Structure formats: structure tokens, C-alpha cells
Structure 1
Amino acid sequence: MTTSLAGQPLLAVLTLREVWRRARRRLRTGPLHRWRFAGGRAGKLLVVPPSLRHGDPMIAEAIYAGRFFFAGQLLEPGRTSIFQAPLPSEAYAAELHGFDWLRHHAEAGDALAVQNARTLVDDWIRQKGGTLADPAFEPAVAARRMIAWLSHADMLLADADAGFHKRFLRSLSSQARYLRSVAQEAPEGTPRLQVRTALAFVSLCLPAASGRIKIAARHLAEELDRQVFPDGGHISRDPGAPVAILADLIPLRQTYLRQGQALPRGLYSAIDRMLPAVRFFRHSDGSLALFNGSGASDIHLMTVLLRYDETLGEPITHARQSGYHRLAAGSSVIVADTGCPPPALVSRNAHAGTLGFELSCEANRIVVNCGRPLTADAEWRRLSRSTAAHSTVTLDDRSSSHFARSESLDRFLGTPLVPGPTEVLSSELGDPVRGFEATHNGYERQSGLLHRRQVSLAEDGWTVDGHDSFQRSATVRTGSDAGKATARFHLHPSVSVEVIGDGVRLAVRGQRWLFRADARVEIEDSIFFADAGGARRTLQLAVPFDAYDPAGIAWCFEREA
């Protein structure tokens, strides 16, 4: 099915902006300008930044054996260079050419792993170093590669011959010139921030005039101020974004200090804001809430990052700018999406999960969203972003936010969210319960209805009460007559389900919870995408109700043991 741009003004605007951005980038990297990226090389590295990301020696061993597993897909090129082999997807290419996997070789640390890492880097320089139009030179991919090469330069250059040393520094210098040229043409959001972060690293690690260090610092600080909310969340509303950004910013801060350079104020304040945000989005088991592109959590990385958090206070209950609520009582934690979708330009990974929530208790995840798949499969990705893949309410099996229905547009624009909720009103409930009430207008245009949800957590953390209903919009008088609403509660794969009378008993690692609703509860299949081992089957509780019944439905999770 195709999407008519004439009927979708927002898609038309986004398409024109992307066409113009790509045209500007091609002009900057075309034959008339390509000579600027050649030239001399830095004579030496001034400093090697630290890396906070841990590796797995088993992955380094697999790469040495010729098994390259990226973006959920395995490629075994045999005697062909991996950098000449046809790649299965853009996501695969981004991971391969980003070189984050060097951390696995660094973790292995033996001579064989180091030599293999050096050989692969040298192979990339020979095969791809001059092909600026290749996917390897997408701005964000090039930025990730620069940071990875700099962070592992001590491993790559240790005992390296003079020829590799020269090729490595020449390639770094050339890529740095390229990134400075295309920085303004990088896509909005994290790709542009990654480019600015990489250029700040380069200004400190390679010999440069003091003016260049100051310019890189200023640009990075400006980008951080644009993208990081006062509450520490990211403009994309992805709970995983602060983790990924901090994994670069904290080593960058240490590199500034090591070089005796003044810390950019924007860098310092962004780190101070984002560290508490990581704690805000964490569940009882240490993993992140699954909203807007968040997937399997790197718990080890988060543990390392939080050692730098000096606030040590309890997370806030309402991240107003990011649009999330967090309820914590006893050993239970609820995280809920109570905000509008992110701006369309940074919504390439956003989900249609408005008013969805997740519940955890002690080290157990109970109610979840499906999360982001590890693979680049387009159908799974689209399914994981739908409202039905979140623990919230669907109306007539539609999503509260929508996506382009054209595969070509998806590839070109990165699947942004198009019309969705434009207003989410929320308020907090007072003692003796902790909770929130929120309403969104994502279904207003088609159905003339507003979804209202109320969720509260008892003081001891043993009872979660909720209520869902629809009310007619005061501004939209027309709408479809269909009114089949379904409240969905996706369960973590570790949760077992047993029907008990008019309720459902949930059991997980020594805990038992009873779910009840004042409507029929159905048990349906679901998929949990956000598992480090790949997608897993699970179950969901589905409660159908009439959207035009003003009473709506009430539901409750009550812990029994």
C-alpha cells in the first residue's frame, strides 16, 4: 500500500526536508569538495579516551572465526572480506562500520584478538577509506567509528608496524575533516549529537589549534542544550538514549580533564541531568522501561554509569518535559508514558504507546511493553511500535499514533510517527496512594473520543488500581460509530498465568499476583522483543470494553504473596 503525500502534509514536509538535507550532504562530499578530506595526517595521538562499554571475549572469538553477528543477523563471508560482502540490511551495515565491536577484542586482550582487530581495521581502511558515498560514511556511523577507533587506539597501535600506524592516523585525520564538513547535515536527534561528540573527542585526541577545541566544545554544548530536557530525558523520549549518550559523555569529560581543558558548561550540566534520568527509567531488576525505541538493557553499562551519579536521591515522580510518570512504593515500581510523541524529525524510533505502563516488583518484571526487536525485520519493527504492543488501550484495533504506509518512505524517512496525540493532560494523585490521571487525544480525529487512564499504587506497593474510559471530545463532534476498546497488559515471559474464577493469577519467582477487572479477561499470545537472546513468546491479558460506555472499566493487580 502506498501513502499519498498530497493527503499527508506532514509526510510531504518531512520528505522535502530530507531531500534537501541529502542534497546538501552530496554537495559537500562531491568531486568539487572531496579534495578537502585528503591531505596530511596527524603525527601522533595526544590521548586515548577511556571506554565504559564492556565486551564479550566470545564475540571476539566468533569474529576471528569469520562469524559476524550484527543487528540480529549472522553473516559468514568466508574468504571474502566482510567489507566487500553484500550486507543484509542498513542496520547491519551501521553496526559493522560503526566498530563498536572492537570492545570485544579489547576485553579478550590476547595477542590473537588484538591482531585480528588491527587486521580488520586495516582492511576497512583499504576497502572503504575513500568511498564517501558508502553507508559507512553516514554521519552517525562515521561518528561511532571515530569514537571506537580513538577509544581502542592503544590496543590497535600496540606493537603495530609503521605502515599501519601511518594509515591509521591518516584515516583518522581524513574522517575528522569529513565529519566537520557534514556535521550540519547529520539527521536531527542522536545522529547529530553523536557527530558533535565525535568531533569533540577528535579535537582533544589529535593535534589541533586551541580554537578548534573551543569550537567543537561550543557546538557540542549547543546540541546538548537542544536535545537534553531539564529533567534529563532526551528529545526522542527513548529511555535508552541517556544511557547511550552518557557512555560517550563521561569518557569525554575525563578526556577534557586529562588534557587540562576547561569543561564545556553544557557538557557538565547535561551529565548531571541525565544520570538521575537513568535511575528514573530503571525498574526493580535494573533494566530500563520499554518505551519509544528502548530494547534489551545493558545492565552492566548502567551500573558503571550510575557510579558517577552524586545525587543519590530518590528519582522524581514526574518527568514533565520527557512526559513520564514513575510510581514507587515498597518494592514495586511503575513507569508510565504520559507525554505526547516526540517531534516528527526525531521520531524514527518512537512508539505509539501513549498512556502505556510497566510494573516490576523486587527483581521481577510483571507488566511490560513488547520493546524494540534486535533484528532489522521491518514487520517486527512496525508491530513493536504499534499501540497493541504496549500495555495501554487500543480503539478498534488502531494505534493512537500512525506511521507511513509505504516501504519506500519508511526507508527514506526512517519511519517517523505522523499524526498522533497532540495533547496529553496529566495530574498527580495525592496521598495515601501514589498515582496519576492522564488523558490523550490520539483517537480524537477518527473517533471523536479521548482516552482517559487513572493508575495508582498503594503505599505498601502490593496493590495497583487502574481505570480506563473514553469521553467524547468537546471539539470534534463527528467520529466513527465503532467503539471496540481493548485494554492490554503484556506480561514478561517469566510470568506464568492461571485462571482463578473471575480473575487471573500471575506467578513469577516466588511472587503471586491476582488480576481482576470488571469485564471479561481474555488471555492472548504476545511477543517480548526486548530480550538479549532474541524475541520470546509470552502472554497478554486483554480486556475488551465498549468505548462509548462512560463508566469504562476498572482493573486491579493485587499481590497475594
Structure 2
Amino acid sequence: MAGGMTHKRFNPGAGGWYRGTALYQMMALSGPAPRQLSLVPPDPWPGDAHLGQELLNNRFRFAGQIFFGDVPPWLEKSASAPWLVEMHGFDWLRHLRATGGDAARRQARVLVSHWLDLFGKRWHPVAWAPDILATRIAAWIGQHDFFLASADDQLRARIFDSLARQVRFLEHAVPGRLKGTALLGTIKGMVYGGICLNGLSRVTDRARALLNRELPKQVLPDGGHIEHSPAAQLLVLRHLIDIRGCYRAGREDVPEAVQHAIDRMTPTLRFFRHGDGGLALFNGAQEGEAVLIDTVLGQADARGRPLKSTPHIGFERITAGRTCLLMDVGTPPAPGLDEHAHAGTLSFEMSVGRERLVVNCGAHPGDQGVWRQALAATAAHSTLAIDDTNSSGVNEDGGLSRRPSKVQCLRQDGDEGTLVDAHHDGYFDRGSIIHHRRLFLAETGEDLRGQDKLTGTPGHEFAIRFHLHPGVRVATLEDDAALLLRLPSGALWKFRASGAFIETADSIYLGQGADPRPTTQIVLRGATQLGETLVKWGFRREGSDIDT
């Protein structure tokens, strides 16, 4: 296979050849097919009418790539793995639903029918990847009333026969090698299929057992998801809300593990939000849509204010006045759960009210190749890098090759403000270097003081980066040791530093979509000295809205 299909996520393993045989298709997947759904679970999530209009015009825009043509490009050779995942998952049916009208309904049927022609009874490592298949089951069932309720009998029969075969496939294939968010999304497909399709209730029992096993492992005591990503936090909480909704619609008892996970995860999702309602940009996350995040929090129906610390996934949140600061102070997620992990240890983001000031560069929807190498790198985060290398090894096709073995953090909250003191050994193999970072945010929220200390051998170059949001304007002051930063509202902040050379450089910001926005970064450069190297810096709110 060419293009994205060579990605490791589509490797079917040793049993892949057997799943493609006629014997497997006949023995394992055949059986009676239901004629209708026993119920349609609720689908509270908004679609995007603009994307729906593109689908109407046979333009398939997913994961930062777009392909088009009269024949759907299911196996486009130049498509990335994330594009193929979305294309075959059919979660985009809700975008057609948002467009509305008979044309959208007909297009949905045409695309589903075409997929059935090619893959309905023919196994393929992409089309039948368990997590993709489960997403498709949930999409076809969840959007039943939109595109299928009024379809002709022949198409309905084909779809229900395929749904039954796909659910039986999951019964045999799961959990396999799936972990993390992919496994929970796959269990959701099993819940939907087992509850909504007559004759497959045994799959529901299997899904319940998997939920009771997985959720205590994946949702940690601080409510954080084990992948340490705000994006994963949002996605898993959506999956759990859908699973709970399906159980309730079927008048079945919701597994206690599901409700407990929702209750714990909801405050932690709030933890990851900036004042503009979007998410912090750690470990493959973009800002997301504030409306969707609000919807998820509303549907969760779980109380709980944002936490100050999430020690199990390793983040700190400081709020004072109108300022919010989020900092990564944990070890990266474990191998197998680190597909979207970044080398951003001890990086931080800072927002003032609804305006972001200091950011990380974000993530590309494709999250592969050069984009992953660039945006997962330490240099794409507001932290310190040694010798232009990464604090964790970044793999081009996902995951980390190495990581710090020790990251420690101490927090002190006092009347005058909050101090976070952390260090990591991600550069220990480069001259036994340890990076210590201290951040103190005054109780007014208008004075952030930072200190980066390096211990180890001398002669190693370092760069401390502060990526600024594209809305921030930068002006150099006369003494060249300070910068004046102006937010879109006109609020002014002064940046000062000592112990390193200060400069500004170009940067990019990928907080939304696939198109990077140009922006600016502040860089403090120097070299390690014998013994201890110390750099001090700070952001302080200035006066009022004077013109720069």
C-alpha cells in the first residue's frame, strides 16, 4: 500500500490475512441481520454546515488535506493516515445533517452505498481497522434518522446487514492491540451495536466488561486521561457521554465506571481551558471549538470547579486576577499511549482574560511527518531547549523514542501569590544537565516572574523560548533588555530578562485548523557555565492603554 496506508496504525498483525478470507467472512461474521434499530441513541453534538456543503460538492476535507472527485477517494494514495481514519469513520455525516435538505440526505446515502460496494463484504486493513469500524457503527446508528429512516428497503437491508457484520467483527477483534482513546472509542461502537441492533446483546456484555476494566486504568485519580492531552480529555469525555446516553436510551443500567469517569473528567476538562473557552495546546491539542466544549460540559452534567493541580498527569494551573497560567510538569505518557505526545516538558501557556499571551505552537490535524517533527519538538514550546535538541525523542509517525525519567514539581500557594518549582532530567545524556524552572505569579495576576537554572557540564548552548499568540504585538525598548507586548485589547505587558541574550524571531501558531498563522517568539540564548547557569525573566502588566 502507498501513502498513508503504510502507517503502523493500519498494520493488521499476524491474523490480518485470515480476516480477509472467505472462510472467516462466512464463519465469523455471517448471521441474521436486523431489519431496523431497536432505538436511536441521542446525538447532541453540532455539525459544521460549511463542511457539509463541501461534502455535497464531493470535496473531502479532513486532517488538513482535501481530495475531490466524482468517485469518493476512499484509498487515495497520497492521503495521510488521519485523513483515511476520518474518511472511513463517517463521523462527518453530522456535517451533512447540519447542511439540511434532501440533497444532503441523498449524498449521505450515495456515499454509504459506495462504501458498501467496495468494503461491505471485503476486508481491508484501513476500512476494517477496529477503531475506524467502531466510529462508523456509531455514526451510521446515530445518524439513522437523518439519512436512513426514509431510505428504500434495499439500501436499509444492505446497511443493517453490514452493521451486524461489523459488530460481530468487533466482538472477535477487540481489544487486540488497541489502547487509550482508540480502545474507548471502539468500545463505544460495541455498545451502540449491542444495544441498538437486535440479536447482538452479547456484545453489550463484552463492552460492559471492557469498560469496567479500562476506565479505572485510563481515567486517573485526578480526572486526567492517561494520554496527558487536553484533546484526548475532550474526546474521551464525549465518548463516555455517548455511551451513557446509549445505555439510558436502551433503559439499561449505566456501568458505575462510566458515571464515575464522567464525574472525575469534567472538572479536569475545565482545568485545561483558557479564558477564551479554548483548550491549552499540550500534547497534540488545538484550541478546539468553545461551543463544542461548552456542549460537552453541559451534557456531562457533572459539578466541580477546575482543579489547581493534576499530579497524576502532571499539570499545574495558576489563576490570579484575570491571568491564567498552565504548565506541563509531568513525565510524558507511557509508550503505546504517546502517539500524540510532544517534547514540551516544563512548557507553559499564559492568558489574560479572553486573550492568549504566551502559547505553545500547537498541532497539525495530520500530526505526521514534517509537521509532527516540527510541532512536537521542544523548540515549538514555551520552555528551554539544549543544543537544539528535544527533551524527549519525537518519532515522525507518532510516539516518543525516549523521555525524561524524572520530572518533579513542588507548588506553594501563599498570600502574595503562587510558586511552582519543577525540574526534569530530559537532557541528562547531554553533559548530566538538569533543567530547573521556577514560576511565581503574584496574587494580582499582573506580575509573572520566572527563573530557569541549568546544572551540569559547561559549553552547551541553550534557548529559552516564549511563543506569543498572533494577536500580540512586540516592540523593543531602548535598553534592549526589555520588550513591550501589546494585546489586542490594548493592554500592555513588559518582558525583561537577565543572564542571557534577548532576541525576537519568527514563529508559527496552529491553534485552529491546518493553516499556520505567523507570529513572534521571544528567545533567550546563552551557554551553560561551570557549576550553575541562571536566567531570570518576567512579564509585568504596564499602566494603561497607551499607544506603542
TM-score class, shorter? over 0.9
Q: Tell me the secondary structure at the aligned position of residue 136 of structure 1.
A: coil
Change (3 A) 1:127 1:233: same
Query: 1:9 is matched with which residue?
Result: none
What does 1:358-377 correspond to in 2, within 5 Å?
358-375=349-366
Deviation at 1:248, TM superposition (A): 2.2
Deviation at 1:232, TM superposition (A): 1.4
Q: Distance in 2 between matches of 1:401 and 1:46?
A: 49
Q: Which segment drifts farther, 124-133 or 381-390? A: 124-133
Contact persistence 2:339–2:399 (CA under 8 A): yes
Query: 2:421 is matched with which residue?
Result: 437
Query: 1:163 is matched with which residue?
Result: 154
Partner amino acid, structure 2, of 1:346: L
Query: 2:61 is matched with which residue?
Result: 69
Query: 1:57 is matched with which residue?
Result: 49
From 485, 492, 499, give the equivalent of 1:512: 492
Q: Tell me the secondary structure at the aligned position of residue 145 of structure 1.
A: helix
Contact persistence 1:483–1:546 (CA under 8 A): yes
Change (3 A) 1:452 1:115: same
Partner amino acid, structure 2, of 1:202: G
Deviation at 1:29, TM superposition (A): 5.3
From 411, 433, 452, give the equivalent of 1:428: 411
Root-mean-square deviation (CA, aligned residues, Å) is: 2.0
Change (3 A) 1:369 1:84: closer
From 375, 380, 384, give the equivalent of 2:375: 384
Q: Tell me the secondary structure at the aligned position of residue 187 of structure 2.
A: helix
From 528, 534, 537, give the equivalent of 2:509: 528
Change (3 A) 1:342 1:376: closer
Deviation at 1:187, TM superposition (A): 2.7
Q: Tell me the secondary structure at the aligned position of residue 466 of structure 1.
A: strand
Query: 1:47 is matched with which residue?
Result: 39
Query: 1:538 is matched with which residue?
Result: 519
Change (3 A) 1:85 1:509: closer
Change (3 A) 1:380 1:68: same
Query: 1:13 is matched with which residue?
Result: none
Deviation at 1:419, TM superposition (A): 1.6
From 12, 21, 24, give the equivalent of 1:33: 24
Contact persistence 1:25–1:185 (CA under 8 A): no
Q: Distance in 2 between matches of 1:38 and 1:363?
A: 55
Q: Distance in 2 between matches of 1:309 and 1:201?
A: 19
Change (3 A) 1:108 1:167: same
Contact persistence 1:139–1:186 (CA under 8 A): no
Query: 1:11 is matched with which residue?
Result: none
Query: 2:442 is matched with which residue?
Result: 458
Q: Does 1:469 align with 2:450?
A: no
From 513, 536, 540, give the equivalent of 1:554: 536
Contact persistence 1:374–1:529 (CA under 8 A): no
TM-score, length-normalised on structure 1?
A: 0.90
What does 1:394-433 correspond to in 2, within 5 Å?
394-404=385-395, 410=396, 414-431=397-414, 432-433=416-417
Q: Tell me the secondary structure at the aligned position of residue 193 of structure 1.
A: helix
Unaligned runs of 5+ in 2: 1-7
Q: Does 1:88 align with 2:79?
A: yes
Query: 1:154 is matched with which residue?
Result: 145
Deviation at 1:144, TM superposition (A): 1.3
Contact persistence 2:463–2:526 (CA under 8 A): yes
What does 1:317-332 correspond to in 2, within 5 Å?
317-332=308-323
Q: Which segment drifts farther, 26-35 or 108-117? A: 26-35
Q: Distance in 1 between matches of 2:320 and 2:152?
A: 59
From 226, 232, 241, give the equivalent of 2:232: 241
Contact persistence 1:49–1:151 (CA under 8 A): yes
Q: Does 1:351 align with 2:342?
A: yes
CA deviation string 1:138-195 (max 9, x = no partner): 2221111111111101112232100011011011101111111111214322111211
Deviation at 1:86, TM superposition (A): 4.0
Aligned residue pairs: how many?
529
Query: 2:248 is matched with which residue?
Result: 257
Q: Distance in 2 between matches of 1:150 and 1:90?
A: 24
Change (3 A) 1:227 1:20: same
Deviation at 1:504, TM superposition (A): 0.7
Deviation at 1:536, TM superposition (A): 1.1
Query: 2:3 is matched with which residue?
Result: none
What does 1:264-343 correspond to in 2, within 5 Å?
264-308=255-299, 310=301, 312-343=303-334
Q: Distance in 2 between matches of 1:294 and 1:18?
A: 20
Q: Distance in 2 between matches of 1:424 and 1:453?
A: 11
Query: 2:213 is matched with which residue?
Result: 222
Partner amino acid, structure 1, of 2:506: D
Deviation at 1:446, TM superposition (A): 2.4
Change (3 A) 1:135 1:21: closer
Contact persistence 2:10–2:125 (CA under 8 A): no
Partner amino acid, structure 2, of 1:506: L
Q: Distance in 2 between matches of 1:173 and 1:210?
A: 11
Q: Which segment drifts farther, 532-541 or 520-529? A: 532-541
Q: Tell me the secondary structure at the aligned position of residue 123 of structure 2.
A: coil
From 439, 446, 449, give the equivalent of 2:430: 446
Unaligned runs of 5+ in 1: 1-16, 405-409, 473-478
Q: Tell me the secondary structure at the aligned position of residue 137 of structure 1.
A: coil
Q: Distance in 2 between matches of 1:520 and 1:156?
A: 61
Deviation at 1:486, TM superposition (A): 1.2
Partner amino acid, structure 2, of 1:132: W
Contact persistence 2:459–2:527 (CA under 8 A): no
Fraction of identical pairs, as percent: 33
Q: Tell me the secondary structure at the aligned position of residue 446 of structure 1.
A: coil
Q: Distance in 2 between matches of 1:29 and 1:291?
A: 39
Q: Tell me the secondary structure at the aligned position of residue 240 of structure 1.
A: helix
Q: Tell me the secondary structure at the aligned position of residue 131 of structure 1.
A: coil
Change (3 A) 1:253 1:310: closer
Query: 2:204 is matched with which residue?
Result: 213
Contact persistence 1:282–1:288 (CA under 8 A): yes
Contact persistence 2:455–2:533 (CA under 8 A): no
Q: Tell me the secondary structure at the aligned position of residue 442 of structure 1.
A: coil
Query: 1:494 is matched with which residue?
Result: 471
Q: Distance in 2 between matches of 1:526 and 1:85?
A: 32
Contact persistence 2:12–2:129 (CA under 8 A): no
Contact persistence 2:308–2:316 (CA under 8 A): yes
Change (3 A) 1:331 1:350: same
Contact persistence 2:368–2:398 (CA under 8 A): no
Q: Distance in 1 between matches of 2:300 and 2:200?
A: 33
Q: Which segment drifts farther, 180-189 or 536-545? A: 180-189
Contact persistence 2:74–2:84 (CA under 8 A): no
Q: Tell me the secondary structure at the aligned position of residue 333 of structure 2.
A: coil
Q: Distance in 2 between matches of 1:97 and 1:377?
A: 19
Deviation at 1:353, TM superposition (A): 0.3
Query: 1:193 is matched with which residue?
Result: 184
TM-score, length-normalised on structure 2?
A: 0.92
Q: Distance in 1 between matches of 2:34 and 2:295?
A: 32
